[in-house]
Amino acid sequence: MKNIIKIGWQTLKKPSGYYSLGALVIGGFIAGVIFWGGFNTALELTNTEEFCISCHEMENNVYEELKTTIHFTNRSGVRATCPDCHVPHKWTDKIARKMQASKEVWGKIFGTINTREKFLAHRKRLAENEWRRLKANDSLECRNCHNFDYMDFTSQSQRAAKQHSTSLASGEKTCIDCHKGIAHHLPDMKGVEGW
Amino acid sequence: MKNLIKIGMLLSVLLPVTASWAAPGEVATLREKTSIDQQKKPGIIPKVINSDIKQARNYPMQPPVIPHKIRNYEVNLNTNKCMSCHSRQRTEESQAPMVSVTHFMDRDGNFLAEISPRRYFCNQCHVTQLDTKPVVENEFVDMHAIMKQKSLAQK
């Protein structure tokens, strides 16, 4: 056993005598493409709603609540799914978000929110994480679908037009400052700014 | 004798019932004479008026009606979405009308710092309006109309 490892290690350490540098570069390139693509495919697979609600923590709480909102059914038939609001579409942001998502797998293993009661007890912390993220990225996910530049204030309600043409237009506020709880029920809002 | 009483009791129970059966059209108005084994085709669900234009009140103490949509606005133990615009501290930013001072009073008339718990559930008194005709005719007459009639009669 020890010998096999030793031989393997030595082959790796030894400069290659059999393959030309060109072949190595090309081979490496191809391997890279395969690896990169595989990684991307894996990311795509986890970037679906089916994946998210494969965990009962996500299905029984937030998914059930989403069903009653405008982002699930509406007159135009355009749906927002979990990854639309929770995972940035851009690649680098995506990786950064996935790293954070590993914490969720940890949470799953240790059952931080595996009952409704525990979920409710933790909801404020989880919601605050989301608000912080959507504040920091200027509500990027919302803007992927709702583009401020194409908002027609004249066809919005007066209330909406007034708020959008002032605080939002000036950049003083972003979507999540005013639109908390659009997709799920809210936690205890005591002490939250604007409530 | 015992039997007579029994029959009497039975009749007194049955008679009023049969009397109301006499006019089925008047009872089953919402089903519009759809036979019992049929399901009526549901009507169109009217839209909530979202004009943001304040409606006149029909009498001074009337809780004002809500001139906008309130879909998915939560009012529960955790949060009160209405107060995120209509509370004293929030009205500058929201430009919404503040809840009236009566909302800060407890039942003994003392003013509290926050709205009183008995006024917490906004929709107990305030409701949205639907863009539709009333199902039942409303014969309410404004106080001012009555006063006007009276003063005309006195002339």
Going along chain B from its start, the domains and CATH numbers come out as 45-131 (1.10.1130.10)
Q: Taking 60 as the threshold, does the pLDDT of residue B26 lie above it? A: no
For residue A76, the model assigns a pLDDT of 95
Task: Look at phi and psi of residue A138 and say left if phi exceeds 0, alpha if psi is from -120 to 50, else beta.
Answer: left
Confidence band, pLDDT 50/70/90 cuts, at residue A47: confident
For residue B19, the model assigns a pLDDT of 43
Which residue's structure tokens are 């979405």?
B81
Q: Is B126 at the interface with chain A, CB within 8 A?
A: no
Q: Is B116 at the interface with chain A, CB within 8 A?
A: no
Distance CA B153, CA B147 (A): 10
List the single residue in B71, B79, B96 with the smallest CB-CB distance to A195: B79
For residue B20, the model assigns a pLDDT of 44
Contact yes or no for A162 and B95 at CB 8 A: yes
For residue B31, the model assigns a pLDDT of 73
> Domain tally for chain A?
1
Confidence band, pLDDT 50/70/90 cuts, at residue B17: very low
Confidence band, pLDDT 50/70/90 cuts, at residue B22: very low
CA-based torsion, B99, B104, B109, B110: positive or negative? negative
Q: Taking 80 as the threshold, does the pLDDT of residue B38 lie above it? A: yes
Is A89 part of any domain?
Answer: yes
**CATH number of domain containing A131:** 1.10.3820
Q: Which residues of A are annotated as a binding site?
A: 52, 55, 58, 82, 85-86, 104, 142, 145-146, 175, 178-179, 184
For residue A132, the model assigns a pLDDT of 95
Q: Which two tokens stand for residue B131?
A: 């863009």
What pLDDT digit, counting tens, does each position of A61-110 carry? 999 999 999 999 999 999 999 999 997 555 566 667 777 777 777 777 77
With beta carbons less than 8 A apart as the criterion, state whether A169 and A175 touch. Answer: no
List the single residue in B68, B71, B81 with the smallest CB-CB distance to A159: B68
Is A195 part of any domain?
Answer: no
With beta carbons less than 8 A apart as the criterion, state whether B127 and B65 touch. Answer: yes
* Contact residues, chain B, for A195 at CB < 8 Å: 79, 83-84
Between A18-27, A40-49, B18-27, B51-60, the lowest mean confidence (pLDDT) is in B18-27
pTM attached to this predicted model: 0.84
Q: Taking 70 as the threshold, does the pLDDT of residue B11 lie above it? A: no
For residue A13, the model assigns a pLDDT of 64
Confidence band, pLDDT 50/70/90 cuts, at residue B15: very low
End-to-end CA distance of chain B: 69
Tell me the nearest-neighbour CA distance from B98 into chain A, angstroms. 14
Q: Taking 90 as the threshold, does the pLDDT of residue B64 lie above it? A: yes
What pLDDT digit, counting tens, does each position of A101-134 carry? 777 777 777 788 999 999 999 999 999 999 999 9
> 3-state DSSP call for residue B80?
strand
For residue A15, the model assigns a pLDDT of 60
Is A193 part of any domain?
Answer: no
Q: Taking 70 as the threshold, does the pLDDT of residue A1 lie above it? A: no
The candidate with the shortest Cα–Cα distance to B70, out of B82, B53, B57, B52, is B82
SS (H, E, C) chain A: CHHHHHHHHHHHHCCCCCCCHHHHHHHHHHHHHHHHHHHHHHHHHHCCHHHHCCCHHHHHHHHHHHCCCCCCCCCCCCCCCHHHHHCCCCHHHHHHHHHHHHHHHHHHHHCCCCCHHHHHHHHHHHHHHHHHHHHHCCCHHHHHHCCHHHCCHHHCCHHHHHHHHHHHCCCCCCHHHHCCCCCCCCCCCCCCCCC
What pLDDT digit, counting tens, does each position of B89-117 carry? 999 999 999 999 999 999 999 999 999 99
Is A2 part of any domain?
Answer: no
Q: Quote the ipTM score.
A: 0.73
What pLDDT digit, counting tens, does each position of A136-194 carry? 999 999 999 999 999 999 999 999 999 999 999 999 999 999 999 999 999 999 999 98
- The two most distant CA atoms of chain A are separated, in Å, by 79
Between A92-106, A107-121, B22-36, B118-132, the lowest mean confidence (pLDDT) is in B22-36
Distance CA A97, CA A86 (A): 9
Is A192 part of any domain?
Answer: no
Q: Taking 90 as the threshold, does the pLDDT of residue B150 lie above it? A: yes
Is A172 part of any domain?
Answer: yes
Residue B111 pairs in a beta bridge with B105
Distance CA B55, CA B61 (A): 14
Centre a 10 Å sphere on the Cβ of residue A131 and count the other Cβ atoms it contains. Answer: 15
Is A8 part of any domain?
Answer: no
Q: Taking 70 as the threshold, does the pLDDT of residue B71 lie above it? A: yes
Between A18-27, A182-191, B125-134, the lowest mean confidence (pLDDT) is in A18-27
Structural domain including A27 reads: 23-178
